Amino acid sequence: MRRRPPQCYYVFTNEVRNLKENAVFALAETVRQSLSIDTQLPRNIKVIFHSEPITILYMRVRGGYDWKNKKIVLSGSDWCRKSFIHEIMHALSYFYRDERLAEKAQTDWRFVVEGLN
């Protein structure tokens, strides 16, 4: 039996849906300060909310970062604070600033990059 998320889940996800990119920049700044990292988000970053769940290779995913189009994609009602922060970490990552590194991050180095984020 699946339990309903706590009320704070709904408050957070609704705020992100309303604030969109402003939520990304605010949370990214908190991450940068907390981890003492000197990196910036892409200026033209976008947040996309899919109404339906996202399935990749028969696995349901909570979200993703489209590094080519600079978009954080969040899936239906599956995403939460952790998945949102995880995708922001991808957007902040140096691996996605250089096209050669980004290709490797999606293939050969995938598990390393996922582990770092």
Query: Among 105, 75, 103, which Cα is nearest to 90's?
Result: 105
Residue 74 structural domain: 7-116
pLDDT digits (tens, 9 = 90+) for 52-90: 877 777 778 888 888 889 999 998 888 888 889 989 988
Per-residue tokens: 82: 């952790």
**Residue 65 belongs to a domain:** yes
pLDDT digits (tens, 9 = 90+) for 4-48: 777 777 888 889 999 899 999 999 999 889 888 888 898 899 999
Q: Is 49 helix (H, G, I), strand (E, B) or coil?
A: strand
* pTM of the predicted model as reported, rounded to 2 decimal places: 0.77
91 contacts 70 by C-beta, under 8 angstroms: yes
**Residue 111 belongs to a domain:** yes
> Regarding beta strands 71-75 and 46-50, do their DSSP bridges make them parallel or antiparallel, or are they unpaired?
parallel
**Residue 75 belongs to a domain:** yes
**Residue 2 belongs to a domain:** no
Q: State the total domains in the chain.
A: 1
> Regarding beta strands 54-56 and 71-75, do their DSSP bridges make them parallel or antiparallel, or are they unpaired?
unpaired
Q: Is 65 helix (H, G, I), strand (E, B) or coil?
A: strand
Per-residue tokens: 22: 């402003």
**Residue 13 belongs to a domain:** yes
**Residue 46 belongs to a domain:** yes
